[in-house]
Amino acid sequence: MTQTQDPATLRTRTFGWSDPAEHASRLGRRSGMEILQAMAAGELPPPPIMNLIDAAGLHAEEGSVTITLDPQEFHYNPLGTVHGGVISTLLDTAAACSVHSTLPAGVGYTSMDLNVKFLRAVTVESGRLTCTGAVLQQGRRTALAEARLVDAAGRLVAHATSSCLLFEMPGA
């Protein structure tokens, strides 16, 4: 707490997450689609980042993943809008997980870059955000994906493209 915060008005938030090492140990045995669908169904815990940002939902189909989030005050930057890092996290996750949805067991991925365009400010009043990713092109070693983030009114608030590196997972 900084000296300028009044303890009487300080808001707090508590959250938990599953052991990420346990989650990672399952990745090499299932296809990306199987993992994502198990997370969406609640059979596998989400990765800790999803708990951190309080993501509301996940839907996966081959080549496309959709993540929803209800903007909250704890997402805000000093200007009173959702921080660009939260928006970028949604975009990166939807784009990269779209690539993941196409991968067989034993193949992993990592984001190589993320190019984000912020188009509109997001606040609590924006309502539920829906971020949908899609694979645009995929080769043996790299994949290109995009993600679009819309507010509850269907207005585009941000867009991103991402390149992912594909690799065989150790021990797979």
- pTM, entire model: 0.92
CATH topology of domain 20-168: Thiol Ester Dehydrase; Chain A (3.10.129)
Length of the chain: 172
pLDDT of residue 8: 77
Domain ranges across the chain? 20-168
Supply the pLDDT for residue 170. Answer: 80
Q: Read off φ and ψ for residue 26, nearest 5 degrees.
A: -85, -15
> How many CB atoms within 10 Å of residue 141?
9
- State residue 1's pLDDT score: 47
The pLDDT tens digits of the residues spanning 25-44 come to 766 789 999 999 999 999 99
What is the pLDDT, as a whole number, of residue 7? 77
Closest-CA residue to 65 (of 148, 138, 140, 156): 148
Residues in the chain where the model's pLDDT stays below 70: 1-3, 23, 26-27, 171-172
d(CA 155, CA 160): 15
CB 81 within 8 A of CB 123: yes
Contacts of 81 (CB under 8 A, 6+ apart): 121, 122, 123
What is the reported pLDDT for 20?
A: 83
